[in-house]
Amino acid sequence: MGEFELITNYFSKAGSPRTDVHCGVGDDGAVLQVRDGYDLVVTTDTMVVGTHFFADVDPRALGHKLVAVNVSDLAAMGAEPSWLSLALTVPVIQPDWLSEFAAGLHETAEYFNCQLVGGDTTKGPLSLTMIAKGQVPRGKAIKRSGAKVGDYIYVTGTLGDAALGLRLVQGVQQVSKKHQAHILQRFHYPTARVALGQALRSVASSAMDISDGLAGDIYHILQRSAVGAYIDVQKLPLSQALKDSCDSAQAMQLALSGGEDYELLFTVPDSKRGALDVLLSPYGVPVTCIGRITGQTGKLELKAGEQVFSYQHKGFEHF
């Protein structure tokens, strides 16, 4: 099998063909029709073997995760996911691996109503780059820069599960049988909070998705918005699986600094908190208020009962 057969066999299948794709895989470029009155939102995420995933990971899960982490960025902007491109680098053509990877990619793309519209295929150390494109009503994208002093800070879902999943996969931590499936699911098959992200357009002053851990990621909002924040660590939403698998100090540490949960972190002004409760009810995603925005630019404080600590940022950075 050569490069072009590979593309035809695995990547040119139109999972859920969209009527706004006038030209997809097979030409020099894709031709995509952006809806009238909408802005185009574009994001890119790369996953490199050894850095983002283990070489022996289930390729189907990998295909899923590549789509989910990209779509999660669109969700955080309040955008509706539409189109995907894939830059794939593989050392050799392994049909079984590619077929599973493509299946995971296409099924997740279909789930989010996205279509793969192009890409590039090269030989080299295993590396996956996806570009996701979405649409948002003009001017309505939720940015990191809109948080204001006094806004309430919220997160979706539970935090720390993916980090525990990583520890389980690495064999450095035990998780009881009854919780293993949930924890592995959270690590290998993260969800992107797409519907919720779009609903937040009318209430959130800022938003982002948590990929590298809450405490590190929130700094991006603090810096872009020129504000500070406090987080009440006793309010951090923890799954039963996490609580049963860790002592409270470790649970808190994983929830604060563990990466890859892909939950949304967002801020809401006091005047919109009532609207938020009403708006959230159809989504069935738990949302927890964990703190407030303060006027101390760039400063994150952690509260536990009466105690307040200043948090020293040690989030993950590649270099």
Least distance to ligand ADP from the beta carbon of 171, Å? 33
Inter-axis angle of helices 161-170 and 177-188, to 10 degrees?
110
What does 7 interact with, of Mg ion, ligand ADP, none (CB < 5 to 8 A by kind)? ligand ADP
CB closer to Mg ion out of 118 and 213: 118
Secondary structure (H, E, C), the chain:
CCHHHHHHHHHCCCCCCCCCEEECECECCCEECCCCCEEEEEEEEEEEECCCECCCCCHHHHHHHHHHHHHHHHHHCCCEEEEEEEEEEECCCCHHHHHHHHHHHHHHHHHCCCEEEEEEEEECCCEEEEEEEEEEECCCCCCHHHCCCCCEEEEECCCCHHHHHHHHHHCCCCCCHHHHHHHHHHHHCCCCCHHHHHHHHHCCCEEEEECCCHHHHHHHHHHHHCCEEEEEHHHCCCCHHHHHHCCHHHHHHHHHHCCCCCEEEEEECHHHHHHHHHHHHHHCCCEEEEEEEECCCCCEEEEECCEEEECCCCCCCCC
* Contact range with Mg ion by CB under 5 A, out of 27-35, 62-70, 179-187, 228-236: 27-35
CB closer to ligand ADP out of 117 and 268: 117
Contacts with ligand ADP by CB under 6 A: the residue count is 13
Binding test (CB under 5 A) with Mg ion, winner from 28, 36, 56, 317: 28
Least distance to ligand ADP from the beta carbon of 6, Å? 8
* Contact range with Mg ion by CB under 5 A, out of 25-33, 103-111, 147-155, 195-203: 25-33
CB closer to ligand ADP out of 125 and 295: 125
For the beta carbon of residue 258, count every other beta carbon within 10 angstroms: 26
Does 89 sit near ligand ADP (CB under 6 A)? no
Binding test (CB under 6 A) with ligand ADP, winner from 32, 74, 77, 88: 88
Least distance to ligand ADP from the beta carbon of 84, Å? 9
Site string for ligand ADP, 4-43 (x = CB under 6 A): ---x---x-------------xxxx---------------
Least distance to ligand ADP from the beta carbon of 98, Å? 10
Residue 28, both tokens: 């020099």
- For residues 257 and 254, what is the distance between their CA atoms, to the nearest angstrom? 5
CB closer to Mg ion out of 26 and 286: 26
Amino acid (1-letter code) at residue 309: F
Contacts with Mg ion by CB under 5 A: the residue count is 1
What does 25 interact with, of ligand ADP, Mg ion, none (CB < 5 to 8 A by kind)? ligand ADP
* Contact range with ligand ADP by CB under 6 A, out of 70-78, 111-119, 176-184, 311-319: 111-119
Site string for ligand ADP, 114-153 (x = CB under 6 A): --x-xxxx--------------------------------
Least distance to ligand ADP from the beta carbon of 309, Å? 47
Tell me, rounded to whole angstroms, the distance of Cα 122 from its chain centroid. Answer: 26
Tell me which residues touch ligand ADP (CB under 6 A).
Answer: 7, 11, 25-28, 86, 88, 116, 118-121
Q: Which residues bind Mg ion (CB under 5 A)?
A: 28
